[in-house]
Structure 1
Amino acid sequence: MSDDPIAKFHQWWEAVIRDVQPKHRGAMCLSTVADNGMPSARFVALKTADARGFLFCTWFNSRKGQELARHPHAALTFWWEEKGWQVRVEGVIAPVSAQESDAAWHDRSRDAQLTTVCFQQSQPLATEAELEVRLQQARQQYEGQPVPRPAQWGGLRVVPQSLEFLTFRDNRLHLREYFSRATPQSDWEKRLLQP
């Protein structure tokens, strides 16, 4: 077993990309908590994962952005059915630099950029037809020029306090490897959990 959970994550990630070639290769379930204590989960795209944590992007004034601002703890779940692998990450939220947010913005397709600038994520929408109308308006507005990153859109990082790697087995004798640390500067402690 690897003693470095980030290295182990990358080993699994690279194997999934190589062997499975998933359509949505960065898909991860992000769970947050509302003011009333209710959990909320949705899939977002992983941008990068390194020793600092797991980076994703969002509108800061979206539901998840507001929940994370008020309750800066989050959980991530990765599930790769073809491999029978699950990774769970729990940690605290840290903002990223404007440069990192800019890099993530420039990594997006132009259509993704246009969709981002013409909508306020999580806000009410009058009709479904408004989706195409607004996108067409944004295409016309930014024709022949770069699409600027909105100030309220950018990256957030889940700084992990724990990671769990679960290998599913048909006989239900699942292997669960659990890594935890007290602070981001602490060494990782590893233990096995019963299935």
Structure 2
Amino acid sequence: MPNRDYHAHRQSYEMGALSDEFLQHNPLILFQQWMDDAFEKKVDEPTAMTLSTVDQLNRPHSRIVLLKAFNEQGFVFYTHYASDKGVQVGLNPSGALTFFWPQLERQVRVEGLIDKMTSEASDSYFQSRPKDSQLGAYISQQSQTVASREELEQRMEQAKNQFKDKPVPRPDHWGGYYLKPDYIEFWQGRPNRLHDRLSFSKQPNQAWLSRRLCP
């Protein structure tokens, strides 16, 4: 059994601040600035985000996926349509994303509805991927049981031979999703746990309502 006590672990956050001026910003522009900062500061895996979905029993599930683009339409990621997350999105399109950049003492939460991208958009991204990544998507039955690692590697070798001299078609079971945000929250660590939290909620007229929240 674990025998380490974490109660005494403390860290003071002192790298930045969010002034009330930021409440006047478009949250997507602010997110772009923060993502640019993460790349500039060489944060590990800056596009990694926790994607949370809900199953038919209203039980939440979370995993890390990679952000591939974002714009007014939404935050884009790609996966297997028949994976656990794909099935859950089909049952309940509500989802949430969490970005955490510890080197910057920053966190961003995004909530909204998830929908599939067009086949044309998924085709375009799939063809831009390295061929081995294409093959991995082609042979994987994501979230399904596999007998062994060896079986996966055998499938990969077979696919490499099958598509040795020709392009890999995007499989019907793989493609893109976007989460269209209706809530975005920015968190900046501050000393004494008096962190900065700014929230932006999409209104019926599509304007963003901004507020400062207690930490």
| Band of TM-score, shorter chain | over 0.9
Q: For the Cα contact (< 8 Å) 2:203–2:209, is it kept in 1? A: no
Question: Percent identity between the aligned chains?
Answer: 39
Shift of 1:159: 0.3
Distance 1:26 1:103, change over 3 A: farther
SS in 1 for 2:193: coil
Measured against aligned partners, the alpha-carbon deviations of 1:141-170 in whole angstroms (never above 9, x if no partner) come to 110211110112111110001000000123
Counterpart among 154, 165, 187 of residue 144 in structure 1: 165
How is 1:174-189 mapped onto 2 (pairs within 5 angstroms)? 174-183=195-204, 186-189=206-209
Q: What is the identity, as a one-letter code, of the residue corresponding to 2:95?
A: A
Query: What residue is the counterpart of 1:9 in the other structure?
Result: 31
Shift of 1:131: 2.0
Shift of 1:95: 1.8
Measured against aligned partners, the alpha-carbon deviations of 1:58-109 in whole angstroms (never above 9, x if no partner) come to 1111110010011001000000010011000000012211121112212322
Query: What residue is the counterpart of 2:6 in the other structure?
Result: none
Counterpart among 130, 136, 155 of residue 115 in structure 1: 136
How far apart are the structure 2 equivalents of 1:20 and 1:146?
A: 34
Q: For the Cα contact (< 8 Å) 1:47–1:104, is it kept in 2? A: no
Consecutive unaligned residues in structure 1, runs of 5 or more: none
Q: What is the identity, as a one-letter code, of the residue corresponding to 1:121?
A: Q
Are 1:190 and 2:210 matched, yes or no? yes
Using CA pairs below 8 Å that are at least 6 residues apart, which structure has the higher relative contact order? 2
SS in 2 for 1:77: strand
Query: What residue is the counterpart of 1:20 in the other structure?
Result: 42
Query: What residue is the counterpart of 1:63 in the other structure?
Result: 84
Are 1:32 and 2:66 matched, yes or no? no
Are 1:102 and 2:107 matched, yes or no? no
What is the TM-score with the length of structure 1 in the denominator?
0.95
How many residues are matched?
193
Consecutive unaligned residues in structure 2, runs of 5 or more: 1-21
Give every structure 1 segment of 4 or more consecutive aligned residues whose post-TM-superposition deviation is greater than 3 Å: none
Q: Aligned Cα RMSD in Å? A: 1.2
Q: For the Cα contact (< 8 Å) 2:46–2:101, is it kept in 1? A: no
